[in-house]
Structure 1
Amino acid sequence: MGRDHSFSERPMSLFDGDEAAPEPIAPDGPAGRLPSYIRDHRRRLRARFMNGGAQAMPDYELLELVLFRAIPRQDVKPLARRLLEAFGDFNRVLSAPAARLGAIQGVGDAVILELKIVEAAAHRLARSRIIDRPVLSGWTALLDYCHTTMAHRETEQFRVLYLDRKNVLIADEEQARGTVDHVPVYPREVVKRALELNASALILVHNHPSGDPTPSEADITMTRSVEDAALALGLTLHDHLIIGKERELSFRADGYL
C-alpha cells in the first residue's frame, strides 16, 4: 500500500533562459510622459474592458492590460504576442512556471510578479466558492475550481479534496508534483492525512498536461490502490477527476469506480 505509484503521459521538455532587455520606445514630449500613441492605446483598452468586460477582448489585449502595471513606459503589445506564441493562450501564460516566463524576451521580475498575482487571485476566487461548502451539491463549482487551478499546468499535480461526514470540503491539499508525464503518489499517505483531518471521504484530482483526460493504466491502478486503502479505514472515495485542458474525466461517471 505504501509503494510509489505514478501517472504517466508523453514527455515534454522544459527550458530556462536569460532575461532580455525591454524594447525601447521613441521619446515623445517632455521627459516623464508617455508617447501619445501609447497613452491613447492604453486608454482605449481600459475603456473597452470597463464597458464590455473580458469577453469583449481577445487574449492578447487582456494580457496587455495585465502588463500595463508591470511595464509602465513602453508598448507591451509585442511582448503580449510573444507570450501567447510561446504558451498558447491567456490561461497558459498565467500558469507558466516563472523560469519559462523569464526565458521570454522582455520578461523580467515585474512581469512575472504581475502574472502570478493574477493567477493567485483567480485560484483564490475559485477556491472560495467550494471551501466549507457541500461539494456533491456544488459539483459545477468544484469542476470550475479544478480547471482554474490545474487545467493549464505544464506538469502533473496530484491533489486530494478531504470531506467531512456531510460532504463539506474541509481541506484541499496538494500531495505531489511531478514532471509532464509522472507524479508519485503514496496511497498510505493519502489516507493517513484523511485520518489526521478527521475526514470521512475524499476526492482525488490530477491533471494531464497533454490536455487529454483519458486515464492511463497507471491512473487506474493508483485509484484502486487508494480506494482499497480508504475502504480498509472506513473512508469513502467519491471520485477521481482527471483534468484536461478542455474537459475532465470522472472515474465514477465513466465506470472506473
Structure 2
Amino acid sequence: MNLTCYQPVSIQSEDRINTLKERFKKNGFDGFSACEAVELVLAFGNERDNAPRVAKPLIDAFGSLRGVLDASPEEMAEAGHISKGAVTFIRFIKEAAGEYLRLSMIGKNAVHLGRREVLDYLEFTLSGERIEKFLAVYLDSGGFVITVETLFEGTINQTAVYPRRAVEMAFKHGAASLIVAHNHPSGDSQPSESDRLLTQGLVLAGRAVDLEVIDHVIIGKGNRFSAKEAGWLDNL
C-alpha cells in the first residue's frame, strides 16, 4: 500500500467515496494507497464530505493506515480536523480486528497455526499502546490455543508479580504452555535488564509446576523482540 495522497481538485467527495467503495467491494484494499484506505475509513466514520481533506494530514503524521489505527484519539485530533465519531470508528476497527484475530486462534493448534501468526497477533494488539500491557497466550498439552489473557496493565513489579500471575492463570485454564508478551510504550522493543530477569523468572516459575514458557515477546512500534529467537531460553 503506497503513501500517495489524493489532492481534492475536480472530483466531488461524494463521487470519490462512491468510487472507493466500489473498488473496495471488488478487491478489498488491494491497489489502494494509504490515503485512499484512510479516506474510506473516515467516510464510514461520518467524515464523508471531509475524508480527502482529513486523510492527508493523518497520513503525513502517522505514515500509514496502520499508523493511523495505532494513533491515540488525542494524536489524531492534533494531526487533523477529525470528528469524535470518526475517531471512535477508527478505534472500533482496530479493536474489532484484534478480537477477530484472537478468536481465530482459539482452538487452533499453534504448531499448525504457526508461532509467527501468534506473534503477529501479539504485535497487532500491543503495538501503539500508550501504557504497558502484559498478555499471555495459553496452550493445552496438544499445543492448541485455549485463550488469551490480559494479565496486567500499567507499571508493575514485573520480576515478582508477573510470573506468579501468569502461573495462576495457567492453572485456571489447565494450560501446559504459554507465550507471554508485553509492550514498550516508547516504541523501542530492545529488552532491558529487567526484561531479561522477568524472562528468567517466568521460565523458572513455570518449570516448578511443569509449565513451559515457549517465548517472551517484547513489542515496540513496528518492531518486536523474541526471547526464543535471541536464544535467551536455551540456557535457563
Question: TM over 0.5, yes or no?
Answer: yes
Structure 1 pair 85/189, CA: closer, same or farther in 2 (3 Å)? same
Deviation at 1:59, TM superposition (A): 1.3
Match of residue 214, structure 1, among 190, 214, 218: 190
Paired position in structure 1 for 2:218: 242
Per-residue CA distance 1:127-181 (angstroms, 9 max, x = gap):
2331111223322321221222123334432111111111211121112223xxx
1:127 aligns with 2:102: yes
Q: Equivalents in 2 of 1:242, 1:136: separation in Å? A: 21
Match of residue 232, structure 1, among 179, 187, 208: 208
Per-residue CA distance 1:201-243 (angstroms, 9 max, x = gap):
1111122344443322111111111111111222111111223
- Answer whether contact 2:139 2:147 (CA < 8 A) is retained: yes
Structure 1 pair 51/73, CA: closer, same or farther in 2 (3 Å)? closer
Q: Equivalents in 1 of 2:86, 2:227: separation in Å? A: 39
**Superposition map of 1:1-257 within 5 A:** 37-71=12-46, 74-138=49-113, 139-178=115-154, 184-185=157-158, 186=161, 187-257=163-233
Per-residue CA distance 1:180-208 (angstroms, 9 max, x = gap):
xx665322122112112222211111223
Q: Equivalents in 1 of 2:88, 2:172: separation in Å? A: 35
- Answer whether contact 1:177 1:184 (CA < 8 A) is retained: no
Structure 1 pair 184/88, CA: closer, same or farther in 2 (3 Å)? farther
Structure 1's unaligned 5+ residue stretches are 1-34
Structure 1 pair 73/87, CA: closer, same or farther in 2 (3 Å)? closer
Percent same amino acid among aligned pairs?
Answer: 30
- Answer whether contact 2:137 2:149 (CA < 8 A) is retained: yes
**Higher Cα Rg, which structure:** 1
TM norm structure 1: 0.75
Q: Equivalents in 2 of 1:253, 1:73: separation in Å? A: 45
- Larger deviation: 93-102 or 221-230? 93-102
Paired position in structure 1 for 2:3: none
- Answer whether contact 1:98 1:112 (CA < 8 A) is retained: yes
Per-residue CA distance 1:8-50 (angstroms, 9 max, x = gap):
xxxxxxxxxxxxxxxxxxxxxxxxxxx9712221122223333
Structure 2's unaligned 5+ residue stretches are 1-9
Paired position in structure 2 for 1:8: none
Bigger helix fraction: 2
Say what the alpha-carbon RMSD is for the aligned residues.
Answer: 2.4
- Larger deviation: 50-59 or 221-230? 50-59
